[in-house]
Chain A
Amino acid sequence: MKRYECLEAIAGEVGDALAVTTAGATTLEWNRFRPSDGNLMCKTLGLVSSISLGIALGLPQRKVLALDGDGALLMNLCALPTIAWRRPPNFIHIVFDNGIYESSGARATATSAGADLVEIARGAGYPHATWTTTVDEFRKEVQAALGRYALSLIGAKVEPGRCPVPPLELDEVENKYRFIRYIERSEGMKILTRPLPASYRRAPLG
């Protein structure tokens, strides 16, 4: 199976879950299949899981999907015990393992030599961590994770390969503002409100 087939298969299943996508093709492919202001791209390789943890802890009533990759997760393996320590039940960690750094030269990662990211997640303390090898299996595991309200990691063994994607229409800063405004709208929160100038606070109007 291919990563984009997996993404396409779950795009209609995840509802209003927030999604953070790892640096590279995953961001472009996810935004093709699930365009939303609830998507946040990650530009620091490896940090997608940690950013997702912060979102999951800050907004425990919302499901948060981390769309991670083998190269990224290998770069930030220490995220796994940190996430398992806090164990946010609204956190769904998806790892696409193609065995290569596909977006940065297609050289091999350590999973191509046998490093097993699901076993590492279990060892770190994830209560649910499982491999999937077909699109149907992957979709079912994601559905189960969305339904169970417990920290879950779903590994997808995928072949390398990208699909055609439209260019992203926004930069990081616009992504940030659209994501925050989406949270404000969908949660009825005020996040970016600035205090009135001091003159408004000191003296009555008129």
Chain B
Amino acid sequence: MDRQAGPRAILEGLKAAGITLIATLPDENLTELLKLVEADRESIHVPLCREEEGIGICAGATLVGKKTAIIMQNGGFLNSCNALTTTALQFQIPLLLLIYYAGDIGDRGFATVGTVTEPVLHALGIRTYLLRRMEEIKETVHQAQVLAWDANRPVALLLTKDVLGTRG
């Protein structure tokens, strides 16, 4: 199995969507995707220390014409909830959230964060799409960005190990 096929498709989806600024914070399961983002010379890469600042960075860049995405773990999504509420939602700023789904089925050690992830996204009113099948990756990433800009809100994609090439 080509473990980079999923991460490549995610990056292709981001490019198809016109995204040119990507903020990231690592997770072991995001490693291949982050290597591709770091190597990409066409977009601005902003490595973060904490996810909440990434919401601010993406929001600021969006206001001056960039299309932006943030790649993080779901624990980091929980870190970013105040910024999502009082910056992204309050100012109606579109953002694309690519969230590694720790605590997904088959995972060990992250069931608590896995359990609260989707309810918190729903409580924030953030439309959420779960990516499990390789053939849907590129188009879903692209179309989620279209939805974010049409709705003037963040949209979330939950990245499973299946699409990150780290299952098994």
Contact = CB atoms under 8 A, between A and B. Distances in A.
Given A47-B56, A50-B57, A54-B59, A86 B46 contact: yes
- Interface size on B, as a range, is 20 to 34
A57 to B, nearest CB: 6
B132 interface: no
A contacts with B: majority SS: helix
Nearest to A48: B56
B53 A179 contact: no
Contact of A79 (B21, B53, B65, B90): B53
Given A44-B82, A47-B83, A78-B49, A58 B65 contact: yes
Given A51-B59, A54-B58, A78 B46 contact: no
A143 interface: no
B91 A57 contact: no
A49, A54, A79: which has the most chain B beta carbons within 10 Å?
A: A54
Given A47-B53, A82-B49, A86-B46, A54 B21 contact: yes
A54 B61 contact: yes
Contacts of B56: 42, 44, 47-51, 53-54, 79
B86 interface: yes
A54 B52 CA distance: 13
B29 interface: no
A144 interface: no
B4 interface: no
A175 to B, nearest CB: 7
Nearest to B56: A50
B149 to A, nearest CB: 9
A92 interface: no
Nearest to A43: B86
Contact of B91 (A54, A176, A191): A176
Contacts of B48: 78, 82
16 contacts: A44-B52, A44-B83, A47-B55, A47-B87, A51-B57, A51-B59, A51-B87, A53-B46, A54-B21, A57-B46, A58-B21, A58-B66, A76-B52, A78-B49, A79-B49, A191-B64
Interface of A: 20, 40, 42-44, 46-59, 76, 78-79, 81-82, 85-86, 172-173, 175-176, 179-180, 183, 187, 189, 191
Given A44-B56, A79-B56, 17 more contacts: A44-B52, A47-B55, A50-B53, A50-B57, A53-B57, A54-B56, A54-B62, A57-B46, A57-B57, A58-B66, A59-B64, A76-B52, A82-B53, A176-B92, A179-B63, A183-B65, A191-B64
